[in-house]
Amino acid sequence: MNSLFGLSPNATLMIWTLLTIVFLIVLISKYKWNPFVTLLISALILGLLTGMQPADVITSITSGLGGTLGTIAIVIALGTMLGKMMAESGGAEQIATTLVDRFGEKRVHWAMMIVGFIVGIPVFFEVGIILLIPIVYTVARKTKMSLLHIGIPILAGLSTVHGLVPPHPAPMIAIKAYDANLGMTILYSFLVGIPAAIIAGPVFGKFIGKRIKTDPPEELAEQFSIKAERKLPGFGITLFTILLPVILMLIGSAADIIDPESTSPLSVFCKFIGHEIIALLIAAVFSFFSLGFARGFNKHDISRFTSECLAPIATIVLIIGAGGAFKQVLINSGVGNAIAEIATGAHINVILFAWLVAALIRVATGSATVAMTTAAGIVAPVLAMTPGANVELVVLATGAGSIVLSHVNDAGFWMVKEFFNMTVAQTLKSWTVLETLLSVTGLVLALVLNVIV
């Protein structure tokens, strides 16, 4: 491409990229344009500004969108079905009730973190909030505790899983982009995610709950209080259903470690059922029986649940795909390699670099998924030029960066604000600080773990 104002090709690429990202931020944040449309326009502009042929830009956009959604769209759809079955069967309520009874009222905020962590495994963050907010209201009313004292740990559990723990789409995007080992990433995600969730959840929740007192919105509190009583599914079968995809993926990873060449039929079978798509498909179908037919639902109910739950995720799927298109243009235009050369020349720790890139995009766009998807395209070339790097920890660093500093350009910010009946200032002091604590703690633990392993 032609250099700009006599600058080097890499510097010119950086300037065009910066201008395009500013354009992207302004349209989403200030003018409230649809992120899907804005990402596609930004990808088109970036490709043309960096000297790509128009036909190549279109090819990059379509291949990037299709390549990103090839696996992720299936993961999202199946995970959403599993979450819907949990909601309709009362499985989430059963998990919460059992853990609260086991932990007792004085330690109920620890139980809430575990609830958020477990329930968050098969569902999106926004779905998790909607699923669990009645439980937050109920427990707060029963224990006479602050709404934030109960709610912050649940939010921390949900957000940790959303950003760090496979098979959530965000970490799965990075795993695919970096060619990381799924089983090792899951192991590290627990080593990093659980301590981070403890600090940002029960510890911070107890602190902020004493300083910000709120009550549930009257309409919602009344709606949830008059909810019809129902017999809940068993705790064991609910927990097993939710954890089934993770168990299957761990089995597949273990088979890959024990028999990497797939020399035995058993190894081939274990790797097959351990693939994220097959694992989630098995879990979703299993939930139709364990949380569906076994709870008295008929075939028409199951069909309705699994159909109606897909409509709300259409926007999420499209945004993820558009983020993949933007990422592909970043790569094909040479921006990714330019950033890689600059980063490697500056000898930046690749784990810290991944966190910084994801954090900057997260703060700018307000979307953890866009941050993870775009950062993956930028970091992957750097990782390829960094022999010996712990790829799985780079995945976690990217995920940690993608959840930092949620503020007014993040839909989750407003959802938390409304459900917890807070002002904008209160939401910044509670929710924004929670997300930042999670992110920074995750980065620090990833760096520490990198030294150990």
**What does the alpha-carbon distance between residue 202 and residue 210 come to, in Å, rounded to a whole number?**
12
Checking if the pLDDT of 244 tops 90, the result is no
Q: What is the predicted pLDDT for the residue at 232? A: 81
CB 199 within 8 A of CB 435: no
Q: What is the predicted pLDDT for the residue at 51? A: 87
Q: What is the predicted pLDDT for the residue at 59? A: 94
**What does the alpha-carbon distance between residue 438 and residue 449 come to, in Å, rounded to a whole number?**
16
Checking if the pLDDT of 377 tops 90, the result is no
**What does the alpha-carbon distance between residue 157 and residue 169 come to, in Å, rounded to a whole number?**
16
Q: What is the predicted pLDDT for the residue at 3? A: 57
The pLDDT mean for the chain works out to 82
Note the pLDDT tens digit of each residue in 36-50: 898 899 999 999 998
Quote the tokens at residue 158: 């949900």
CB 395 within 8 A of CB 185: yes
Kindly report which listed range (99-103, 177-181, 290-294, 444-448) carries the lowest average pLDDT score.
99-103
Checking if the pLDDT of 133 tops 60, the result is yes
Checking if the pLDDT of 295 tops 80, the result is yes
Q: What is the predicted pLDDT for the residue at 146? A: 82
Kindly report which listed range (100-114, 261-275, 335-349) carries the lowest average pLDDT score.
335-349
Q: What is the predicted pLDDT for the residue at 443? A: 94
DSSP annotation of 229: P
CB atoms within 10 A of CB 101: 12
Amino acid letter, residue 425: A
Q: How many Å from the N-terminal Cα to the C-terminal Cα in the chain?
A: 42
Q: What is the predicted pLDDT for the residue at 230? A: 65
- Identify the band that residue 323 occupies on the pLDDT scale cut at 50, 70 and 90: confident
**Whose structure tokens read 């982009």?**
177
- pLDDT cut 90: percent of the chain above it: 19
Q: What is the predicted pLDDT for the residue at 226? A: 44
Quote the tokens at residue 184: 């090792």
Average pLDDT over residues 191-213: 90
CB atoms within 10 A of CB 8: 11
Quote the tokens at residue 320: 């993820």
> Which of 428, 387, 397 has the alpha carbon at shortest distance from 410?
428
Q: What is the predicted pLDDT for the residue at 227? A: 46
Average pLDDT over residues 432-443: 94
Residue 300 buriedness (CB in 10 A; 0-12 / 13-18 / 19+): exposed
Note the pLDDT tens digit of each residue in 415-431: 788 778 888 788 889 99
Note the pLDDT tens digit of each residue in 205-241: 889 888 888 877 766 666 555 445 567 888 889 888 8
Sign of CA dihedral 218, 223, 224, 228: positive
Checking if the pLDDT of 438 tops 50, the result is yes
Average pLDDT over residues 299-317: 83
**What does the alpha-carbon distance between residue 264 and residue 271 come to, in Å, rounded to a whole number?**
11
